[in-house]
Amino acid sequence: MQVGERLQLELGTDPARNHYYTTLIGFVPGHSILVRTPLVQNLPIPVPEGASVLVRAFSGRHAFTLESRVDRVCRSPYPYMHLAYPSHVQQTLIRGALRVRIALPGVALKSTQAADASPHTVLLSDLSVSGAQLETQASLGDPGEEFGLTFKFLVQPNNYEVKLTNSVRIQSVRKVRTGKGPEEMFSHGVRFNKLHATEGLLLQSYIQQVLLSDRTRVV
């Protein structure tokens, strides 16, 4: 793993209430792992030395899990912690391109539309760093056509709102049933044409955040 990788820490016996996000600062093999102390409302959380901790991480196409303990809590020059170097790490290969199930609203605007035309409301049902699946009431076009897509997401730990606007190309279009009724929607597989480096990093951070919170959301 690289310095700056995103980590999830589970403290105590109730992971639903005691999981936090942080980043890897560095490590000394055989001795300790250094991580930033998680923040809540911009304040470091109180962590007792000696506490058990479960660390989850995602890097590339692999998910990692390791058990450790808090050896030292430091407050200077900024809040960080020393975790005991693990005796073993569980690694799981996530096959194929990583996509996660989500439910984010967005808007699509075809480049051929007039400036005063109304955008199409869409729902992003899954997301990856290369593209997304969009559900709409009406078709957005045929494979090969392009349009603009805008959506927002929150990046932890401080609920930083990211607004991403990008040109996308339709890869596939199909009709899907909604629920048990006869209603149908259009499902579009789209690919991002080109993301700026910062946008790609923020999107990757969000996807890792979703993955760390619930691994069953991998598509």
Question: Which residues pair with residue 154 across a beta bridge?
Answer: 161
158 pLDDT higher than 70: no
pLDDT at 113: 53
Output the average pLDDT for the chain.
84
Averaged pLDDT for residues 153-157:
80
Percent of the chain's residues with pLDDT above 70? 87
Name the class of domain 100-217.
Answer: mainly beta
Report strand pairing: 131-136 vs 90-93.
unpaired
Per-domain boundaries in the chain: 6-93, 100-217
Residue 14 pLDDT > 60, yes or no? no
Any idea what DSSP says for residue 217? G
- Among 123, 124, 170, 127, which residue's Cα sits nearest to residue 145? 170
Banded model confidence at residue 59, pLDDT cuts 50, 70, 90: low
Fold entry, domain 6-93: Pnp Oxidase; Chain A (2.30.110)
3 state DSSP class of 95: coil
Under 8 Å CB-to-CB from 83, ≥6 apart: which residues? 32, 33, 34, 35, 53, 55, 68, 69, 70, 71
DSSP state of 119: P
- Which pLDDT score is estimated for 211? 81
Give 3-61 as a DSSP string: TT-EEEEEESS-TTTSEEEEEEEEEETTTEEEEEPPEETTEEPP--TT-EEEEEEEETT
pLDDT of residue 13: 52
